[in-house]
C-alpha cells in the first residue's frame, strides 16, 4: 500500500438493523481504497443482526456492546477504542459508491487543517434527490441540510468548507476528534454531529463537504418520522445544548430569544394540526435542556477556553447561517418533504 494512503477503520453502528445490512456491507466491501477494515458496532441488538453478518460477511469485524448506547455514545466508545487516526462513520441504512472513501481521504490528505470530511448523501429510493449536501449551523443551534430533497442535477455545491457534515457518512481525524472532546454522549441522537463540527471550527480546524463522495441513504427514521415526539424532544434539547455550549454571549442571548419565537410558531402550528404531542415534546425538550444547565455550562467553559475563532468569522464564511437563510431553508424543506419516499417512476 502506498505510504500516503493510510489504513482506515470504517465503523458502522447498528441496532436491530438487519434489513439494511446486506445492502450496506455488500457495497462497503466493494470500496475502492487500498487498505480499510469494516467494523460493525452493535448496540446490543435483539434481532439476529450479528449472526447475519457473521454468516454472510465474515470479513467484517464485529464489536458487541452490552447495551444500547445510542448514536453519540456508541460511536464515541468505538472511536476511542480504534487505533487508526482516520476513521470513517457510516449509517447502517446506507450503501456507497465505490470511490466514496478515496474522495473523502483525498481531502483529508491534501488539507491538514480539515478535521472532518463529509460525503454527499442521496436518497436511496430517489437517487436523483439530495438528502445532505453539507450543512449550515443555524442561529438557534440546529443543523440545516442544504438542498434537502431537491434535485441533484439542479443544485451544485462545490467541495469546500461547511458548517457540519452528516454523521451518517464522514471521515474524521481521531487526533482532532479527541482534542475537541469527541461526541457528547448525553445527546443520544440528533445534532451531535453539529455540536462536534462547531467545536472543531471553534478550535481552529475545518470541516469540509466533498461533492464527489457519494453515499445513498434510506433515511429509515429509527426513532419515528420527522414529527415524532421523540425526535422533536431530542432535537429541541440538543440544539439548545449546542447553543449554550458553543455560541458567544451575544449570539447565545439572541439565539434563545429567536428560539422562543420559533417555538411559539411551531407550537401554534401543532395545535392547529390537532397534534398536542408536538407541543408537549417541545416543552419537554426545553425543560430537559434547562435542567442540565449546570453540566452544560461546565462544558461551555472548557469549549470557550479553547476558542480561537470568533462567531463573526464563522458567519462571514457561511459556517453559521443568518436567520433569513434558516427560515428559507425551513420553508424549502417543508415544500419538498415527503418527495424522497416516492419511488422514481
The grid coordinates of residue 186 equal 448525553
Domain ranges of the chain: 8-217, 229-338
Distance CA 286, CA 283 (A): 5
Q: Which residue has the higher pLDDT, 285 or 328?
A: 285
As a whole number, mean pLDDT of residues 9-20 equals 96
Whether the pLDDT of residue 284 is over 70: the answer is: yes
Confidence band of 223 (pLDDT split at 50, 70, 90): very low
Give the closest residue to 31 by CA, choosing from 111, 124, 97, 95: 97
Of the pLDDT bands very low, low, confident and very high (cuts 50, 70, 90), residue 159 is very high
Distance in angstroms (rounded) separating the CA atoms of residues 151 and 130: 6
Predicted confidence band at 221 (pLDDT cuts at 50, 70, 90)?
very low
pTM for the structure as a whole: 0.93
pLDDT at position 338, please?
Answer: 53
What pLDDT is attached to residue 300?
Answer: 98
The pLDDT confidence band at residue 224, using thresholds 50, 70 and 90, is very low
Band of pLDDT at residue 336, cut at 50, 70 and 90: low
Q: According to the model, what pLDDT value does residue 307 have?
A: 97
pLDDT band at 344 (very low <50, low <70, confident <90, very high): very low
The pairing of strands 114-123 and 206-217 is: parallel
Report the pLDDT averaged over residues 9-28.
97
- Of the candidates 283, 247, 248, which has an alpha carbon nearest to the alpha carbon of residue 266? 283
Q: pLDDT tens, 94-120? A: 999 999 999 999 999 999 999 999 999
Q: What is the mean pLDDT of the chain?
A: 92
The long-range contacts involving 263-271, CB below 8 angstroms and separated by at least 24 positions, are 263/236
Lookup result for grid cell 467545536: 199
Determine the pLDDT at residue 3.
Answer: 56
Q: How confident is the model at residue 343 (pLDDT cuts 50, 70, 90)?
A: very low
CB contact at 8 A, 278 and 229: yes
pLDDT > 80? residue 186: yes
Residue 252's pLDDT is 97
SS3 call for 98? coil
| Model confidence band, residue 337 (pLDDT cutoffs 50, 70, 90) | low
CATH of 8-217, one of 3.30.2320.50, 1.10.1060.10, 3.90.550.10, 3.40.50.970: 3.90.550.10
pLDDT in tens, 40-93: 999 999 999 999 999 999 999 999 999 999 999 999 999 999 999 999 999 999
Handedness of CA 175, 176, 181, 185 (dihedral sign): negative
Query: Who wins on pLDDT, 132 or 341?
Result: 132
Amino acid at each position: 500500500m502506498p505510504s500516503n494512503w493510510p489504513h482506515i477503520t470504517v465503523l458502522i453502528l447498528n441496532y436491530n438493523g438487519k434489513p439494511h445490512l446486506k445492502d450496506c456491507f455488500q457495497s462497503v466491501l466493494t470500496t475502492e481504497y487500498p487498505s480499510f477494515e469494516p467494523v460493525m458496532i452493535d448496540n446490543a441488538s435483539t434481532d439476529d443482526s450479528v449472526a447475519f453478518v457473521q454468516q454472510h460477511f465474515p470479513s467484517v469485524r464485529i464489536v458487541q456492546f452490552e447495551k444500547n448506547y445510542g448514536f453519540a455514545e456508541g460511536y464515541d466508545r468505538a472511536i476511542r477504542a480504534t487505533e487508526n487516526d482516520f476513521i470513517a462513520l457510516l449509517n447502517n441504512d446506507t450503501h456507497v459508491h465505490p470511490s466514496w472513501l478515496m474522495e473523502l481521504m483525498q481531502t483529508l490528505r491534501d488539507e491538514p487543517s480539515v478535521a472532518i470530511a463529509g460525503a454527499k448523501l442521496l436518497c436511496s429510493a430517489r437517487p436523483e434527490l439530495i438528502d445532505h449536501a453539507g450543512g449550515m449551523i443555524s442561529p438557534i443551534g440546529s443543523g440545516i441540510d442544504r438542498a434537502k430533497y431537491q434535485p441533484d442535477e439542479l443544485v451544485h455545491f462545490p467541495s469546500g468548507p461547511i458548517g457540519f457534515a452528516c454523521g451518517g457518512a464522514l471521515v474524521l481525524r481521531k487526533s482532532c476528534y479527541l482534542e475537541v472532546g469527541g461526541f457528547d454522549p448525553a445527546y443520544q441522537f440528533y445534532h451531535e454531529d453539529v455540536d462536534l463540527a462547531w467545536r472543531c471550527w471553534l478550535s481552529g480546524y475545518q470541516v469540509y463537504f466533498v461533492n464527489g463522495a457519494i453515499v445513498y441513504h434510506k433515511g429509515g427514521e429509527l426513532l419515528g418520522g420527522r414529527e415524532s415526539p421523540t425526535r422533536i424532544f431530542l432535537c429541541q434539547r440538543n440544539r439548545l445544548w449546542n447553543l449554550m455550549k458553543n455560541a458567544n454571549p451575544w449570539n447565545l442571548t439572541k439565539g434563545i430569544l429567536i428560539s422562543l419565537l420559533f417555538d411559539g410558531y411551531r407550537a401554534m402550528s401543532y395545535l392547529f394540526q390537532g397534534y398536542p404531542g408536538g407541543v408537549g415534546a417541545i416543552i419537554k425538550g426545553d425543560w430537559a435542556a434547562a435542567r442540565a444547565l449546570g453540566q452544560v455550562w461546565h462544558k461551555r467553559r472548557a469549549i470557550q477556553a479553547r476558542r480561537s475563532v470568533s462567531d463573526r468569522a464563522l458567519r462571514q464564511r457561511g459556517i453559521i447561517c443568518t436567520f433569513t437563510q434558516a427560515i428559507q431553508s425551513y420553508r424549502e424543506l417543508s415544500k419538498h418533504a415527503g418527495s424522497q419516499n416516492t419511488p422514481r417512476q
